[in-house]
Amino acid sequence: MKHFLNNFFSRRQAIVAMALSALLPLNASAQKSPEPLRIGFQKSASLLTLLKSQGTLEKRLAPLGVEVKWVEFPAGPQLLEGLNVGSIDFGYVGEAPPIFAQAAGANFIYVGYELPAPGAEAVIVPKDSAIRSVSDLKGKKVALNKGSNVHYLLVRLLEKHGLKYDDIQTVFLPPADARAAFERGSVDAWVIWDPFLAAAERQLGARQIADGRGVVNNHAFFLAARTYAERRQDVINLLFEVLSRQGQSITKDYRSAAQALSPLQGLTPDVIELSLRRYSHDVRPLNTAVIAEQQKIADVFSDLKLIPRKISVRDAAPLLK
């Protein structure tokens, strides 16, 4: 009997050991570190800034084994540089930065866009300035962020008013430095987007001489590193679902959104609400028309020698059917 019991327990121990060893790969898999999704954002970009503060995206992506990491940039061109060097996987910028980045060889793709917001960017002057129209900018110093969406706005406005690009003195400065120069009187005008635009109007009494309406579309685009988009289409799809819902939430209650954004953007709710009302917050998949618009901008920049070579925007839009 003793021999029988010894054999029985030996066999039982072997079975338990085999079962435990079979479970080890599962446990190892369960303990595997989540994959990071690195999202580049600008604090001025209300859609992503609000989404970051709420943690909604993190909750939705956790079951997919994805951990969200947010990386802040001062403006679109710098964000595209981050995408180019591999420090982020996904980002949101205006229409001009992707063109400069593609011309420089950045390996990204367009994955979606936001409906036009031409009233969300403008040329402003100090409240007591003698400048009354774009025509008055001839020979004047105009501040702007090089390679940003307002770069194209300036080109088109000058063209509309019979001026050449070299008829003005461009002063390339990021938003914070441009505002400082604008307040000091070091520049005569500033081409800028919201919420910096709304802040200058409300806080400094800055006066618009022209905005983008009837001149440019001012799309905003969602971009991804090509390799990431090819590998994690499931994450991209979920991202768009969450972004779309976030945009709808903003337009349903601008005041509440402005209140929530106020401590995040360091601006008063009235300034933020003015800014929010100028954007569409309507997230859409790519279409041929919007890519054709991007191509027009690329061609203009190429003709002006603002980019080193001609590009085909379609090459960066493989998801377009």
Q: What are 109-120's pLDDT values in tens digits? A: 999 999 999 999
Instruction: At 172, list the tokens.
Output: 């390339």
Alpha helices in 192-287 (DSSP H): 196-204, 226-231, 233-252, 254-265, 269-276
DSSP state at residue 248: H
pLDDT at 20: 40
Element (H, E) at 18: helix 2-30
**Above 60 in pLDDT, residue 53?**
yes
Question: What pLDDT score does 288 carry?
Answer: 94
pTM of the model: 0.83
CA dihedral 227, 228, 234, 235 (to 10 degrees): -170
Residue 277 is given by DSSP the state T
Return d(Cα 261, Cα 269) in angstroms, integer.
8
What 8-state DSSP symbol labels residue 195? T
Q: Is the dihedral of CA 194, 119, 113, 268 positive or negative?
A: positive
| Residue 33 DSSP one-character state | P
42, two tokens: 């600008």
Q: Which of 265, 247, 321, 271 is closest to 291 using CA atoms?
A: 321
pLDDT band, very low/low/confident/very high, at 34 (cuts 50, 70, 90): confident
- Four-residue CA torsion sign, 280, 219, 158, 79: positive
Structure confidence at residue 76 as a pLDDT band (50, 70, 90): confident
Q: Is the pLDDT of residue 2 over 60?
A: no
What is the pairing mode between strands 220-225 and 169-172?
A: unpaired
